[in-house]
C-alpha cells in the first residue's frame, strides 16, 4: 500500500485535549510502553474520526498493525464518550438560553434490505437516528444516543426524555413538524397543507422556519466528522462514536 502525507482540518486544541486524556489514562493503568506516543495515538484517532480513514490505511501510514489501530481507536473513543455531556448537563446549559433548537438527523449505515428496524422511510435509506440540541446561534449543545433509523423523531425525543427535561426547566424548544404532539415546551409549525393555512398561520410558519434553520449548523458540525457520514461499523458502536465526536467538538470550541 502506498503512503502519502495528508492534512487534517482539525484544531490543534482537539489534538492537545485528546493527547492529555490519553496520557492520564496510560498513567492510571500503568502502561509503560506503546508503539506510539500519546500524541501520535491522538493523531491516529482524529484521522479516523475526521476523515473516516480505514484501519488498514491508518496501519500503513503509522507503520503498526491493524489490530493495534483498532485497540488504539476503541480506547480513545471510550475515554472521549465518557466525557460527553449528559442530557441533564445540556439542559442546565440550555436553561440560560432564550430557547433551544431540536432536530433529528440520520447517520447512514451499511445495512441490507432485510434490516427493517434501521430503515428510515423519510430518508429512504438505512441509518441511525440521533437527536441534536442547539443554542439560538446554532451551536451544538448535545447529541443523543443513537436509535434505529425507523424510530420517528418525536418518539426518539420522548424515549431520551428530552421533552420532559426541557419542560421541567421551562426552556422553549423550537422543532419541525416531525415533533408534532410532543407537548411540553416544544413548539412546532402549524399543521396542514400550505394552501389550506390562513395568512396568520403562514406567517407563523415562516417565522419559525427562520428560527429553526440554524439547527442545521449544529447537524453540519456533527457530520463534519466524516466517519459519521457513512458508518461501516456495528450499530452498537454508533452511540460511542457520536459521543466521542461531541466531546471533541465541545473541548475544542471552548
pLDDT, averaged in runs of 10, over the chain (254 residues): 86 95 96 92 96 94 95 97 96 94 94 75 90 96 95 95 95 93 91 87 90 94 94 91 96 86
From the list 161, 10, 11, 32, the residue with the least C-alpha distance to 88 is: 161
pLDDT at residue number 225: 96
Asked if 129 contacts 229 with a C-beta cutoff of 8 angstroms, the reply is: no
**pLDDT for the residue 124:** 87
pTM attached to this predicted model? 0.92
C-alpha–C-alpha distance, residues 70 and 75, integer Å: 9
The helix or strand, by DSSP H or E, that contains position 100, with its residue range, turns out to be strand 100-108
In this predicted structure, what is the pLDDT of residue 114?
57
User: Which grid cell sits at 80?
Assistant: 472521549
- Look up residue 76 and give its three cell numbers: 480513545
Q: Are strands 125-134 and 119-120 parallel, antiparallel or unpaired?
A: antiparallel
Comparing CA positions, the residue from 133, 101, 67, 64 lying closest to residue 213 is 101
Give the pLDDT confidence score for residue 113 in this predicted structure.
Answer: 60
Helical ranges in the chain per DSSP H: 12-29, 38-51, 55-62, 66-83, 87-94, 153-160, 162-169, 199-212, 215-223, 238-252
Residue recorded with cell 442545521: 216
Amino acid at each position: 500500500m502506498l503512503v502519502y502525507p495528508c492534512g487534517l482540518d482539525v484544531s490543534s486544541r482537539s489534538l492537545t485535549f485528546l493527547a492529555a486524556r490519553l496520557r492520564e489514562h496510560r498513567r492510571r493503568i500503568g502502561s509503560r510502553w506503546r508503539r506510539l506516543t500519546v500524541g501520535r495515538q491522538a493523531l491516529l484517532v482524529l484521522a479516523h474520526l475526521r476523515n473516516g480513514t480505514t484501519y488498514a490505511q491508518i496501519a500503513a501510514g503509522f507503520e503498526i498493525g491493524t489490530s493495534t489501530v483498532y485497540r488504539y481507536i476503541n480506547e480513545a473513543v471510550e475515554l472521549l464518550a465518557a466525557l460527553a455531556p449528559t442530557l441533564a448537563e445540556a439542559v442546565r446549559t440550555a436553561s440560560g438560553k432564550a430557547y433551544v433548537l431540536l432536530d433529528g438527523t440520520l447517520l447512514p449505515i451499511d445495512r441490507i434490505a432485510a434490516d427493517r428496524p434501521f430503515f428510515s422511510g423519510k430518508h429512504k435509506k438505512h441509518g441511525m437516528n440521533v437527536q441534536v440540541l442547539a443554542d439560538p446561534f446554532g451551536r451544538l449543545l448535545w447529541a443523543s444516543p443513537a436509535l434505529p433509523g425507523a424510530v420517528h423523531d418525536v418518539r426518539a425525543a420522548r424515549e431520551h426524555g428530552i421533552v420532559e427535561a426541557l419542560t421541567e426547566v421551562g426552556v422553549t424548544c423550537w422543532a419541525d413538524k416531525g415533533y408534532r404532539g410532543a407537548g411540553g415546551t416544544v413548539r412546532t409549525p402549524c399543521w396542514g397543507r400550505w394552501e389550506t393555512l390562513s395568512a396568520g398561520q403562514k406567517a407563523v410558519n415562516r417565522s419559525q422556519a427562520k428560527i429553526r434553520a440554524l439547527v442545521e449548523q449544529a447537524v453540519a458540525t456533527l457530520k463534519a466528522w466524516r466517519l459519521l457520514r457513512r458508518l461501516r461499523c456495528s450499530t452498537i458502536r454508533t452511540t460511542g462514536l457520536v459521543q466521542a465526536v461531541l466531546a471533541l467538538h465541545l473541548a475544542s470550541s471552548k
